A and B are shown apart, each in its own frame.
Chain A
Amino acid sequence: MFFLKSGNTAKIDWVFIAVLLVIMGCGIALVYSASAPSSEGVPFYGTYWFKQIIYFACGLVFAAAISLLKISILRYLTFPLYLVSLVLLVVVLFFAGDVVKGAGRWIDLGFFKLQPSEFSKIAYLLMISSWLSKHPVDFLKLKTFFVPGIMFLVPFVLVLRQPDLSTALVFTMVTLTCFFFAGLKLSDLFFFMSPLASVVLSHSLVSYSQFLWGGFICLLAFVLFKRRLPIAYTVIIFLVNILAGYTSSMVWNHLEPHQQKRVETFINPLSDPKGDGYQVLQSMTAIGSGGLSGKGFGEGSQTNLNFLPEEHTDFIFSVLGEQFGFVGCVGILFLYFLFLWRAMAICRMYTHPFVILVTAGACSIFVFHIIVNIAMTIGLMPVTGLPLPLLSYGGSFAMTCMILVGLLLNMRFHGDQLKG
C-alpha cells in the first residue's frame, strides 16, 4: 500500500482486513433488514443503514489514520488522553447533557453526541498497557498492583456512578486481560476472581448451591495446594472465600424485598415481563424461529413486525438468528473468532509488552462485547445494553470499534519500532 514502505507491505494482514470488511458488510445488511419496515418513505440518506455506512466509512478513515501513527507518539499521547477521559467522565456525571433511557451518559456537542464512557475504554486501555509494559505485576509483590489498581478504580467508579454497569465490567475485563499478559498466571486470575465466584455459587437462589460451592472450595484448595504460595497468601485467600460464601446469604437476607427483586430480575430478565423480560422472550423466539437455515433475508416476521423495539441496536443478533438461522449465527461466530485469532497473531510477531498488552486488551474489549451481547439475546445473560461490535447500529460504538481496529493495525505495522 502506498503509505507503507515497501518492506512493510508484508505486514498487511489481508485475512484480517477481509474478515473485518465482511463483518461490517453483514452489519449494514442486518441494519437494512431490521430497519426497512420502519423507514418506508424515508429518503435513503435518512435511513439507518445509510447512516451506518457513513459511520463505518468515517471509522475506516480514522482507523487508517491511527494505524499510521508512530507508536512513540501513541505512547506520548497516552497519559493526556487518559486525563481528558477522566475529566469527561466527571463532566458527564455532573452535567449530563442529554438523558437517554434514564442515564445521563452523553455530552451533546451539537453535531455529535460524545459518549465519554466509550472514549474512556480506549484511553484506559492505552494507559494501563503503557504502565504495565514498564512495571509488570507480580502476584507475590502486592505493591505492583497499587498504581494500576488506582488507574482502574477511578474510571471504574465514575462509570459505575452513571450508572453504566456494563461499561464498568468492560474495564474489569481489560484489566484482567492485561494483568494476565503482564505477568499473572492463570491461577492468579483464578484467585482474584474466586471470592466473586464464592458469592454467586453459595447463593441460596442457585440450585444445589451447597454442592456447587462445596465443589468450588475443594477446587480452590486443590489449586492453592498445587500453586504453593506463601502460607499467609494461602490462608487469606481461603478465608476470604469462606467468608464471601457465608456473608453472601446473610447480606441477601438483609436486603429489602424490592432490592432483592431488582437483583433477581437483573439476573433472570424473564422474571420481569414488564421490563426487559418481554424483549428477551421475543428475541429468543425470533432466533429460535430461524431454525437451522433461517427464513431468508428480509423475511423475519418477528423483527419485521417491530416486536423487538431495539433490533437494529442491541438486538441485531436476533435479526441475524431469525433470517439466517443457526448457520448464519455460527458463521458470524466463526468470523468473529477468525478476526480475534488474526488480531492475536500480532502478539506472536513482536516481543515488546506494550504491543502485546494493547493487542490483547483491544481483543478483550471485542470479546466481552460479543459474548455479553449474544448471550443476552439468547437469554443466557442479563440485559445490559452492550452492543455487538461491527454489527449493531450506532455511531459512537462504531467509532470505538474502528479506533480499536486502528490500534490493532498500528501495532501490527509499527510493533518493531519498540524493542523488547
Chain B
Amino acid sequence: MRNSLNDGTETREKNYKVFIFLGLVWLAFCVLGIRLFYLQHVNYEDNFQRSENNRIRRVDIPAERGFIFDRNGVVLVRNRPSYQIVIDAQQLPRKKSGKDSVFRTLLNIRDASGVRMFDSASLDTAFQRTAWIRNKPIRIYEDASPEQVSVIEEHSHELPGVYMVTESRREYPYGTLAAHTLGYTGEISEEQLQKPEYKKKYSSGDVIGQKGLEQQYDMEFRGKNGSRVVEVNAFGRVVSEVSGMDAIPAEPGLHLVSTLDFKLQKVAEEAIPDSMRGAVVALDPRTGEILAMVSSPRIDPNVFSLKKKERNRGWAKMALDTTKPLVNRAVAGVYPPASVFKLVTAGAGVENGVLSKYKFYPHSCTGGYTYGSRYQKCWGVHGNLNVVNALRLSCDVFFYQAGLDIDMPRINEFGRRFGLGEELLGIDIPGERRGWLPDSVSFNERNKRSGWRWARGLILNLSIGQGQLVTPLQQAVLVGSLAMNDGVRKPHLMKEFRDSKGNVVKTFKPEVIRSGTMKKSTHEILLAGMDSVVNHPGGTGKRGALPGIRVGGKTGSGEWKKGEKTHAWYAAVAPLYAPEIAVAVILEAAGGGGAKSAPISKKVMEAYFFGDSVQVKPEVDVLDTIPVEGD
C-alpha cells in the first residue's frame, strides 16, 4: 500500500494529473474562444445586420389539406388558393411620416370597380396593432381576388411592409350537396380550446374541421406543416434561404375516399326540396357503408371559407333559422319511429312464440280498440288479420294486442339486437344522438320531474312506435339488418385514406356491432311482411316499389303534435332476399309515409340499381380524380 517511499512519486503523479485536467479544460476553452472570435469578429458584419433588422424569419410551409372524394373518385371537397394582404410591423417604415404615407396610399387604392379596398377605421386598428404584434404579419384584407392582388402589386414600391400571403381554403364544388356529412372548416373557437382533447392537438388561431367528416378526420386531413428559415429584405419579401438550414417540406394531408355515392347523393338531394325538413339515409347493410346521407334544410359550407364579414352574416342566418339547418337530421334528429317499429313488435312476437302466421286476435279491427277506459283508434278498418297482413296494412289494433301480449322488455330487446336503442351506432361523424326504447323503469326515470308514471296502457302506444325515439340512421340500419339476419355492421363514411400519391394507407375494417340475428322462422315472416307492404295489393308502401327489383319496406306516420301533419317515415331494403341497399326517409310534418317518403326512397333505389341509364353528371369535371381500386 502507500508508504513513505512511494509518497514522492505519488504526489508527482497526482500533480501531473491535475495539470492534465486543467490543460484539457484550457484546450476546450480555447476552442470555444476561437469559435467566439469567428462569430463575433470574422462574421460580425453578417450577424450584426441580421440582428439589426431581424431579417431572419421562420416561415411555416402550410400543408395541403386532404380532399374528400366519393366512392368513385368524384371530388366532393377540395382547396382553393386565397390571397391575404398583410402588413408586417418590422418592415414598415419606422418614422411616423413613412407609416402615414403607407396608410394614405392604401386608403386611396381602388379595385377594378372603383371601390375603395380599405376603410380607414379597420386600417387604423391594424396599424395600431403593429405596435405590439411585431413578429408576425397582420392581415388587412382577407380573401382578395386576383384583380385586387394585382392592384396592390402595382403599388408595391410605395408600400414597404405590405405584401401578399397565400392561404389555402376549403372549397365545396357542389355547395350544399352532403354538406352536413362533409362538415366545414373554421377557426378553432374559445370553447373548443378549453377542452382537453383539443388543447393537446391545437393552438389558438388554428383552422380546424368543424362538424362532419372534416371534424372527425381533421388530424388525417391536416398533414404536417413544414418550415423553413429565410432572410427577408426591407420590404418583407423573401430574398433567400438561410444557408446551412434545411427546409422541412410540408407533409400533405391524406385524401379521404368516402363511402358516399355521388350519384345517389345527388338524386336524394334533389328529391327533397330545401323547403322541407327531413333526412335520407341510404346504406349498404352488408358492410355498413353509407351511400347517401341528406339532411334538409341544407347549409352551404362554402360560406365558412369566405371573408369574415360574409362568414359571420352567413353563420348568423343559419344559427338563427328556426328550422335549424345546422343540425344533421340524419344522425342527430330523433323522431318517434312510428309504424316502422311494428316490424320490431312483430319480430319480437314471432321470436318469442307469441305470434305466428296462424295467430289471430279475438278483437278484429273495427277502427279502434278499447283498453281499460280508453278507446285507441286505428287509422282504418281492417278486420281480422294475421301478422303479415297486419304489417301490410299497418293495422294498429293488431299490434295493440300483440304488444300487450309480448310486453316491452322483449320488444325492446329485439329492437336493440338490430341497432335501435340508447347505444350509439358509432358512425364516424360527430353529433350522433342516442335513441330511446322506454320500458317501465326507464320511463319513470325519464319522467321523474313531470310526475308521469308508467302504466300498462302505454304499451299500446309503444307497440306501434309512438313514444320511442330513433334517428333516421337507426331506421336504415334496422330495416337493413332485419332483411340480412346476419349481424349489424357499424355504419361508416370512411372507405379509405390515400396519400397524395394515391396509395391506400388506411381502410375501414367492417365491424359487427350488434348480434342482429333471429330465428329463421321469424326472419321469413318479417320478410313476407316487408314484401307485402310494398308489393301486395293494399300495401301501404306500394309507391316505393321498383319494377324488376324486389323491394321490401315499411311505412310510418309519426304523430308528434296535435293538429299538425304527421312525420312521414319510410324505410326500405332491396333486393329483399339479398339486400344491397337500405334506405330510410323521413319528412317532418309532411303527411303519410307511404305517400310522401316512399317515392323518394324509390328514386334513390332506382339510381342505385339502374343508375347507368339515369345519367347524373357531376357539374365539375372529375379532373382531380385520384386512382381508385384496381390501380
- Seen from chain A, the residues whose Cβ lies within 8 Å of a Cβ on chain B are 177, 180-181, 186, 270-274, 277-278, 281-282, 284-292, 301-302, 305, 307, 321-322, 325-326, 329-330, 333, 336-337, 340-341, 344, 347-348, 351, 356, 360, 363-364, 367, 371, 374-375, 378, 380, 420
Contact = CB atoms under 8 A, between A and B. Distances in A.
Contacts of A333: 29, 32-33
Given A181-B17, A307-B54, 18 more contacts: A181-B14, A272-B246, A273-B246, A274-B248, A281-B229, A281-B242, A282-B56, A288-B46, A288-B48, A289-B44, A289-B50, A292-B44, A326-B41, A333-B32, A344-B18, A364-B21, A378-B35, A420-B2
Given A181-B17, A307-B54, A347-B18, A287 B40 contact: yes
Contacts of A290: 40
B7 to A, nearest CB: 8
A180 B246 CA distance: 41
Interface string B43-57: 110111011101010
Contacts of B227: 273-274
B229 A305 contact: no
A379 B344 CA distance: 73
B44 to A, nearest CB: 5
Contact of A344 (B22, B29, B226): B22
B21 A360 contact: yes
Interface string B1-45: 010000100110011011011100110110111011101110110
B550 interface: no
A291 B32 contact: no
Contacts of B2: 420
A166 B26 CA distance: 22
Contacts of B324: none
A287 B50 contact: no
A198 B51 CA distance: 40
B244 interface: yes
B229 A277 contact: yes
Interface in B326-372: none
B565 interface: no
Contacts of B32: 333, 371, 374-375, 378, 380
Give the 3 A-B residue pairs with the shortest CB-CB distance, closest first: A288-B47, A289-B51, A288-B39
Interface residues on B, range: 35 or more
B247 interface: yes
Given A289-B51, A363-B21, A329 B14 contact: no
A288 B22 contact: no
A181 B58 CA distance: 48
Contact of A285 (B18, B25, B41, B56): B56
A270 B244 contact: yes
A138 B407 CA distance: 89
B134 interface: yes
Contacts of B134: 305
Interface of B: 2, 7, 10-11, 14-15, 17-18, 20-22, 25-26, 28-29, 31-33, 35-37, 39-41, 43-44, 46-48, 50-52, 54, 56, 58, 134-135, 226-229, 242, 244-248
A301 B47 CA distance: 12
Contacts of B7: 351
B245 A351 contact: no
Nearest to A322: B51
A281 B246 contact: no
A321 B36 contact: yes
Nearest to B134: A305
A347 B10 CA distance: 12
Contact of A291 (B11, B26, B48): B48
Q: Is the interface of B mostly helix, strand, loop or mixed?
A: helix
Given A273-B229, A291-B41, A348-B18, A340 B25 contact: yes
Contacts of A287: 36, 39-40, 47
Given A347-B18, A363-B21, A330 B33 contact: yes
Contacts of B21: 177, 180, 344, 360, 363-364
Given A273-B247, A363-B21, A380 B35 contact: yes
A337 B26 contact: yes
A339 to B, nearest CB: 11
Contacts of B35: 375, 378, 380
Contacts of A326: 36-37, 40-41
Given A288-B39, A292-B41, A337 B245 contact: no
A278 B60 CA distance: 12
Contacts of A380: 31-32, 35
A337 B21 CA distance: 12
28 contacts: A180-B21, A181-B14, A272-B248, A273-B58, A273-B227, A273-B246, A273-B248, A277-B229, A284-B39, A285-B47, A285-B51, A286-B51, A288-B39, A288-B43, A288-B46, A288-B51, A289-B50, A289-B51, A292-B40, A321-B36, A326-B37, A337-B22, A337-B26, A340-B22, A347-B18, A348-B18, A367-B25, A378-B35
Nearest to B58: A278
Nearest to A333: B29
Contact of A271 (B14, B44, B246): B246
Given A273-B228, A330-B33, A378 B51 contact: no
A180 B17 contact: yes
Contacts of A374: 32
Contact of A281 (B43, B44, B52, B245): B245
A337 B51 contact: no
Contacts of A325: 40
Nearest to A271: B246
A178 B248 CA distance: 43
A282 B247 CA distance: 16
A259 B246 CA distance: 17
A351 B40 contact: no
Contacts of B228: 273
Contacts of A177: 21
A393 to B, nearest CB: 21
Contact of B245 (A273, A360, A371, A420): A273
Given A281-B245, A347-B14, A330 B28 contact: no
B20 A186 contact: yes
A378 B36 contact: yes
A293 to B, nearest CB: 9
Contacts of A270: 244-246
Contacts of B18: 344, 347-348, 360
Contacts of B39: 284, 287-288, 321, 378
Contact of B51 (A301, A330, A367): A301
Nearest to A346: B18
A371 B40 contact: no
A333 B36 CA distance: 11
B238 to A, nearest CB: 14
A88 to B, nearest CB: 29
A302 B56 CA distance: 11
B250 to A, nearest CB: 11
Contacts of B51: 285-286, 288-289, 301-302, 322
Contacts of A289: 44, 47-48, 50-52
A322 B25 CA distance: 24
Contact of B44 (A291, A329, A340, A371): A291
A307 B135 CA distance: 9
A329 B26 CA distance: 15
A291 B29 contact: no
Nearest to B36: A329
Contact of B50 (A273, A285, A367, A371): A285
Contacts of B17: 180-181
Contacts of B229: 273, 277-278, 281
A405 B134 CA distance: 43
Contacts of B20: 186
Contacts of B135: 305, 307
A139 to B, nearest CB: 15
B31 to A, nearest CB: 8
Contacts of B47: 284-285, 287-289
Given A282-B56, A289-B47, A277 B36 contact: no
